[in-house]
Structure 1
């Protein structure tokens, strides 16, 4: 197997309350060729297929399960430009110039993603602000310094002290930062929309297909499926999420377990502006609303990937998230309608690994770890499209493989 097989999620997410999307299936009955083969038909693979088919490449997407059946339905889909690692902390890790570039690129990615969703008429684009609450990673004073760092980088934000936070949002915390213009989405709708756009241009989607071997040559890549079929391509892209190519973890990355819930729909006003809310804590609680009045809330991350142990904790972790949600927002209902758990990833810097794979010619990977997975999938699509077109990307080294 080229990628490590994982039990990616358990339970039923709020996005699975509707009928699963249907797609035309391409059957691989003999030797097959394509300009680009994308392994993975989740949100990352869908964005790759859209970007590359629009650039004129003949794209074949393959998946061992089926389209949008891996980690994507487990996403809580807070499409933020704010990186998990605060700008002040990232500056100490990689330097001010690189840290500012990384934050600005995330801002551009969210804007570009919103524009692409509108251009393809995938779904209505809903803009949401984000409220970043003081916690054990950044206290009120550190949040004030973070505010100044973001303002110097040209990233607009507002600092709210305890009184302003209480008056505007009814939340009791020492301070918060208010960021602007992020995106709210249904990740299954997004992935399906990008896949359908690519298919309309002639891209092909095949499943269930297990790629078990590859031979990376100077000008091409040869693949072998579990059924012995041969696929030849000029470029191969791993968009396999937490099922890592060859099971290898990039330097500074870690795979975890996480839990989330969605409440029953509520007609009452949830909170001011229904902005995203998350904490400057480790692990942090995060939440958003949906169009039908649910609250999606997640967190309680644990440093292990044992699926049986993870699944056994659903009831306890759901109750813990309920308690924290109720304490933070006492005027809403925390009655649970959906609860789920899944594999999640982080990195020391909060940045993903995107780009060409070391020692494998013509092979690329998108490893969008952290709470900005969909935002990073957009950046990965931009970087790989530029690379395959021979143009390069000015920020590519920020996300390059580290060994």
Structure 2
């Protein structure tokens, strides 16, 4: 089942190099299930650490939700640090946000080793108050972030308007964020892992079942099986039997447009990434070639949207952008909708499957999934090495 519909932009920015399907028995130290963002970063991390690593995907690498990923990289999550403190306590809230900050740094490090076509650019982000009553929330979040040393500034309405052209009452400006071409990033990282670290990749190879005997894990696929010491499921937003035991998940769908190019002088200051306090929120980012991504209008429905609904939502996204920037005329070039996953407590799922030794999951559910994937890969490396870390408990699957 496809997890998206419409005209996708990112796959048009890179050639498709296909990998073979598995038609024989194979074995390795670590098997990764899923060739999206989570699976790719994890496979690279494991292979670089010296493990004989295999990655399989039932479709193609970066072919599902990663192809619809909007490529905003932020250390802030949809759930604010202030709300995390209220729900989890200061220590766990800080650990969550600090790991997100480190995850973004890890992606930055990886991109320095990859060609420029991954389009990684350091950016600041503006979280503006959608309504005046949201100003108190922004002040509270600013205080929480500053207390723990996260880089941010609070802008009043005049500063927000004069610097960024946004006519709203207040904005929280965070630094050390970034934008990326997620599709090319995945492709390039896979290529590097294959050529430099011996990663084996098999597309059109679907996991049917997995069995752990406590020492190794046997995974059945259509035309063979794979035996590995450790298996990591990173199947993205697929809703299947492998994730049915995850209780706090929920699937939603989101919509986005990629505009036709606009003149360089029409962009706001620093080409900062933009989002808002309303839920669901609007988000805006620059794309190479002077395009803009405008996304949002999420709804609580896991069905992949029809093209008719996608075009309706696209027209609304254009209107919402023009309400924010009335002097910038945009026209949608591509528009699409896709399923994404969220969690009820705002944290991703990372850890060992209960009662299945050596079987793990990395489910980067939430609005910050790429960053979750990055720090999750490092946590999983600790787990397969047998290293103890109290942070592992924060994201356990049975919480």
TM category (shorter chain) comes to over 0.9
Aligned partners of 1:306 and 1:160: how far apart in 2?
A: 39
Seen in structure 2, the aligned counterparts of structure 1 residues 282 and 110 have a Cα distance that, compared at 3 Å, is: same
What's 1:53 paired with? Answer: 47
Q: 1:389 and 1:46, CA in 2 relative to 1: closer, same or farther beyond 3 A?
A: same
Alignment coverage as a number of residue pairs: 395
Shift of 1:306: 2.0
Matched with 2:80 is 86
1:276: Cα distance to partner?
0.5
Structure 2: any 5+ residue segments left out of the alignment?
Answer: none
Cα displacement (A) at 1:373: 0.9
8 Å Cα contact 1:383/1:392 also seen in 2: no
Q: What is the CA distance between 1:250 and its match in structure 2?
A: 2.5
Q: 1:194 to 1:394 in 2, by over 3 A?
A: farther
Q: Hey, what does 1:380 align to over in structure 2?
A: 376
Q: Secondary structure at the match of 2:285?
A: strand
Distance 1:8 1:20, change over 3 A: farther
Shift of 1:138: 7.0
Cα distance, 1:128 vs structure 2: 0.3
Does residue 128 in structure 1 map to residue 142 in structure 2? no
* Runs (5+) with no aligned partner, structure 1: 1-5
Q: Which residue number corresponds to residue 95 of structure 1?
A: 89
Report the Cα offset of residue 394 of structure 1: 4.3
SS in 1 for 2:112: helix
Contact conserved, 2:21 with 2:204, CA < 8 A, in 1?
no
Report the equivalent of 2:104.
110
In structure 2, the partner of 1:197 is 192
Match of 2:249 in 1: 253
Runs of 4+ in 1 over 6 A off after TM superposition: none
* 1:239 alignment counterpart: 234
After superposition, the Cα gap between the structure-2 partners of 1:160 and 1:91, relative to the gap in structure 1 and judged at 3 Å, is: same
Match of 2:286 in 1: 289
1:226 to 222, 228, 239: 222
In structure 2, do the counterparts of structure 1 residues 124 and 268 end up closer, same or farther at CA, with 3 Å as the change threshold? closer
* C-alpha contact (below 8 Å) 2:209/2:219 kept by paired residues: yes
Question: CA-to-partner distance for each residue in 1:236-256, whole Å, 9 max, x for gaps?
Answer: 111110014524163332100
CA contact (8 A) 1:238 1:245 kept: no
Q: Distance in 2 between matches of 1:134 and 1:38?
A: 41
Q: Aligned residue for 1:38?
A: 32
TM-score (norm. length: structure 1): 0.94
Decide whether the 8 Å contact of 1:39 with 1:239 is kept in 2.
Answer: yes
Shift, 1:310, TM fit:
4.8
Alignment deviations for residues 286-314 of structure 1 (CA, whole Å, 9 cap, x no partner): 0100121011010000001122x554410
C-alpha distance 396-137 of structure 1, shift in aligned 2 (>3 A): farther
- Pick closer, same or farther for the CA change 1:378–1:158 going to 2, 3 Å: same
Q: Which position in structure 1 is the counterpart of 2:276?
A: 279
Q: Residue 350 of structure 1 corresponds to which residue in structure 2?
A: 346
User: Aligned residue for 1:11?
Assistant: 6
Is the CA contact 1:36–1:234 (under 8 Å) kept in the aligned structure 2? yes
Partners of 2:278 and 2:322 in 1: CA distance: 18
Deviation at 1:157, TM superposition (A): 0.9
Kept in 2: contact 1:128–1:181 (CA 8 A): yes
> What is the Cα deviation at residue 372 of structure 1?
0.7
SS at match of 1:69: coil
**Shift of residue 137 of structure 1?**
11
Pick the aligned partner of 2:145 from 147, 150, 167. Answer: 150
Asked if 2 retains the 8 angstrom alpha-carbon contact of 1:263 and 1:335, the reply is yes
RMSD between superposed Cα atoms in Å: 1.7
Give the 3 Å change call, closer, same or farther, for CA 378–19 of structure 1 in structure 2: closer
**CA displacement at 1:68 relative to structure 2:** 1.5
Query: Among 303, 308, 319, which residue is 1:306 paired with?
Result: 303
C-alpha offsets along residues 87-125 of structure 1, whole Å, 9 cap, x if unaligned?
A: 111111111111111111111111121012213456454
